Amino acid sequence: MKTAQRVYTALIFILIYAPLAVMILFSFNSTSSTSVFAGLSFKWYRELFSNSDTLEALKNTLLLAFVSSIAATLLGTVTAVGIYRMRSRVTREIIKSVTNIPMMNPDIVTGVSLMLLFVFVGRLLGRTNTLSFWTLLISHITFNLPYVILNVLPKLRQTDRHLHEAALDLGCSPVEAFMKVTLPAIRSGIVSGLLMAFTLSLDDFIISYYTVGADFQTLPLKIYAMTKKTVKPDMYALSSVIFFTILILLMLINMAGMRSDNNSNGSKKSKKKV
């Protein structure tokens, strides 16, 4: 039974990581073939870092992911707090469902409808060049928002409602009470929301495809445009770089998370003693 469990786990891991392993291996291939490994070389990495187009697209993708996830996190946290404090249960449930719709919606519907909206508003304002970096940013914030709310709301529900009131009683202004009491309690929800928003924005292809303008090309769009000719192995090199960056980032975050969990456990214990 034990072996069966191990084999099963191993199988799952192989299925998840084999494609990545193959891609990383072939990013070091000295030719562009994907079946014959002709020899170890850094050719595609050199190529990647000498291609200003690709680096520009990478820079755009990161910039967009960074700005849109931060904006969505700010907006989403404020929204989540607002929803949580709503008096009427019915309106709260309605608002919660409404904010979930964009998440359930197929990307293609979100993408097309956003594009139509932008074009429509653009026409009203008499503009012919509506789609740009800004429309792309608005779209990304829009589809990131529900994920942030989804991550922050449960954390709010776990906190004690009366803590905030107690802070007010003890002389905090509402803003201070939020910053000093509520925010630390929901911080982990905010961080996971931010990370989720960041990765979603990084990957997104379909929504960007419809809302992108002429001035801003992201990496997924660039790779897709290559498919009439051929996707070159410098893209494997790039994907490997991104994979390792994310891996290191996640490891750092988990390590930081473990440390702060230990700290908070420690402080709880000391409170009990008092």
Partner 1 sequence: MRRWVSVILVTALALCCVMGLASCGGSDEPGIVPEGTYSRDLAGTTINVYNWGEYISDGSDDSLDVNEEFEKLTGIRVNYSMYESNEVMYSKLKSEAVAYDVIIPSDYMIARLLNEDMLRKIDFSKLSNYHYIDPKYRDLYFDPTNEYSVPYNVGMVGIIYNTTMVEGTPDSWSLMWDEKYSDNILTFNNSRDGFATAQFLLGLDVNSTDKATWEQAAEKLKEQSPILQGRVMDEIFNKMENNNAAIAPYYAGDFLTMQEINPDLAFYYPKEGTNIFVDSICVPASSQNYEAAMMYINFLLEPEIALANAEYIRYASPNTAVVNSDDYSLKGNEILYPAAEATVPVEYYHDLDPEIRSYYETLWEDIVRSTT
Footprint of partner 1 (CB under 8 A): 31-36, 47, 49-56, 58-59, 62-63, 66, 115, 118-119, 122-123, 128-131, 187, 191, 194-195, 198, 212-217, 221-222, 224-232, 234, 245, 248-249, 252-253, 256-257, 259-260
Q: Which is nearer to partner 1, 97 or 263 (CB)?
A: 263
Residue type, 150: L
Question: Cβ 4 to partner 1, closest distance in Å?
Answer: 35
Question: Cβ 93 to partner 1, closest distance in Å?
Answer: 31
Q: Which is nearer to partner 1, 28 or 216 (CB)?
A: 216
DSSP 8-state code for residue 39: -
Question: Cβ 108 to partner 1, closest distance in Å?
Answer: 13
Q: Which is nearer to partner 1, 42 or 66 (CB)?
A: 66
Question: Cβ 130 to partner 1, closest distance in Å?
Answer: 5
Q: Which is nearer to partner 1, 7 or 247 (CB)?
A: 247
Question: Cβ 147 to partner 1, closest distance in Å?
Answer: 16
DSSP 8-state code for residue 37: -
In this structure, are residues 139 and 208 in contact, taking their beta carbons and an 8 Å threshold? yes
Question: Cβ 240 to partner 1, closest distance in Å?
Answer: 15
Q: Where do we find the tokens 């990957």?
A: 203
Closest CA to 71 of 175, 134, 145: 145
Q: How far is CA 127 from CA 104, 117, 122, in A?
A: 32, 13, 5
In this structure, are residues 220 and 203 in contact, taking their beta carbons and an 8 Å threshold? yes
Per the rule left: phi > 0, alpha: psi between -120 and 50, beta: everything else, 106 is beta
Q: Which is nearer to partner 1, 43 or 99 (CB)?
A: 43
| 3-state SS record for 40-109 | ECCHHHHHHHHCHHHHHHHHHHHHHHHHHHHHHHHHHHHHHHHHHHCCCHHHHHHHHHHHHHHHHCCHHH
Q: Which is nearer to partner 1, 7 or 116 (CB)?
A: 116
Question: Cβ 135 to partner 1, closest distance in Å?
Answer: 8
Q: Which is nearer to partner 1, 103 or 121 (CB)?
A: 121
Q: E strands of the chain, at which residues?
A: none
